[in-house]
Chain A
């Protein structure tokens, strides 16, 4: 009985000489989202060289002028006032201006979150000062980019009057494409300048 007591005391002493440790608690990396459509702002180089993006509120224009003699004569390529040809990721000469509009971005997140979504919203119609309209679904785009065998953002046509999904952006990946816009030019319309604003949105879950 005495021996048992001694053995238990020894066990207690060993337990008392237990672990010491200092603890460093680390927290997950932050989530971030970046989208550039046309013009962008970077300081200190490209992303790959440590550059820092800034907010750029510029709204670029894509346009085409159809002479009266060519009304309804079929597809006309549009041009842009965006001068962005280089990828902000690494400066690679990716797009051709003024034919193409640069669209690119990323979704950075820890864990197994669902993908982000790139979508675009266009009004139902372009409209001139007289109230004449051209349906937005007469404007389409062809997607491409230098050295891209398959375009990341698919080619398509605006549905007009609604948001439409363009791309599911896999987390922790970079995406970019160059969009060449075209006007179908299949109808006779009144004279004037027809305008409509398109908004691209990148949404993370």
Chain B
């Protein structure tokens, strides 16, 4: 004997079926998953931005910039020995965009990024459960718009085919 589901259960069932179909559709292209980077350490709690040009003037640059070193530790265990595309992303933030460029020690790709975007930093087979790399971020934004401290949230995503 089969009991007919209640109204709420029917709604959840329909939602799950929809979600399942979406997941299936997504997996035909790629599945994006957030990476556990909780072992990552930022060397400075607060990074003071410096005017790129101390003095404003005729057509002068009003941007501020600073560099900070970050020791990345990404938990790649769930993709071990699988081909992955690893992206670094910077969450959207209010106000003027913040531009980021970074150098690496070779395990990850150097690149650039702005708030709200993401950039490929690794493509290949994840051959270690923990991906460790030290990167140096250079941050730049319009100094006239940066009035108070602003928290920039970086995160990592893996796209698997």
Choose, from A28-36, A120-128, A195-203, the stretch at the interface: A28-36
In the complex, 29 of the A-B residue pairs with CB atoms within 8 angstroms, ordered by the A residue number, are A1-B6, A4-B8, A4-B9, A7-B9, A7-B13, A19-B34, A19-B155, A20-B155, A23-B42, A23-B154, A24-B152, A26-B49, A26-B139, A27-B47, A28-B49, A28-B148, A28-B149, A29-B64, A89-B58, A90-B57, A90-B58, A108-B51, A108-B56, A110-B144, A111-B144, A172-B60, A172-B62, A174-B55, A174-B58
How far is A26 from B34 in the complex, measured between Cα atoms in Å? 24
Q: Are B139 and A22 in contact (CB under 8 A)?
A: no
Checking B62, B149, B156 against A27 with a beta-carbon cut-off of 8 angstroms, the contacting residue is B149
How far is A173 from B56 in the complex, measured between Cα atoms in Å? 5
B residues neighboring A (CB under 8 Å):
5-6, 8-9, 12-13, 16, 34-38, 40, 42, 44-51, 53-58, 60, 62, 64, 66, 68, 70, 72, 91, 98, 137, 139, 141, 143-156
Q: Are B54 and A32 in contact (CB under 8 A)?
A: yes
Closest-by-CB residue of B relative to A34 is B55
Residues on A with beta carbons closer than 8 Å to the beta carbon of B48? 26-27, 30
Q: Are B12 and A4 in contact (CB under 8 A)?
A: yes
How far is A1 from B12 in the complex, measured between Cα atoms in Å? 11
Check A47 for interface membership: any CB of B closer than 8 A.
Answer: yes
Known: A4-B8, A106-B55. A25 touches B16 (CB 8 A): no
How far is A25 from B5 in the complex, measured between Cα atoms in Å? 50
How far is A174 from B154 in the complex, measured between Cα atoms in Å? 36
Count of A residues near B, CB < 8 Å? Answer: 34
Q: Are A20 and B36 in contact (CB under 8 A)?
A: yes
A174 to chain B, nearest CB (A): 4
In addition to A19-B155, A26-B66, 6 A-B residue pairs with Cβ atoms within 8 Å of each other are A4-B6, A19-B34, A26-B47, A26-B149, A28-B143, A29-B146
Residues on A with beta carbons closer than 8 Å to the beta carbon of B70? 22, 24
How far is A172 from B72 in the complex, measured between Cα atoms in Å? 37
Residues on A with beta carbons closer than 8 Å to the beta carbon of B150? 25-26
A residues neighboring B (CB under 8 Å):
1, 3-4, 7, 10, 17-30, 32, 34, 47-48, 89-90, 106, 108, 110-112, 171-174
Residues on B with beta carbons closer than 8 Å to the beta carbon of A27? 46-49, 148-149
Q: Are A26 and B98 in contact (CB under 8 A)?
A: yes
How far is A171 from B57 in the complex, measured between Cα atoms in Å? 11
Closest-by-CB residue of A relative to B40 is A22
Q: Are B147 and A111 in contact (CB under 8 A)?
A: yes
Checking A17, A20, A34, A90 against B37 with a beta-carbon cut-off of 8 angstroms, the contacting residue is A20
How far is A3 from B46 in the complex, measured between Cα atoms in Å? 48
Q: Are A48 and B144 in contact (CB under 8 A)?
A: no
Q: Are A25 and B151 in contact (CB under 8 A)?
A: yes
Closest-by-CB residue of B relative to A105 is B55
Q: Are B146 and A110 in contact (CB under 8 A)?
A: yes
Q: Are B51 and A3 in contact (CB under 8 A)?
A: no
Residues on B with beta carbons closer than 8 Å to the beta carbon of A20? 34-38, 155-156
Residues on B with beta carbons closer than 8 Å to the beta carbon of A110? 64, 143-147
How far is A30 from B40 in the complex, measured between Cα atoms in Å? 29
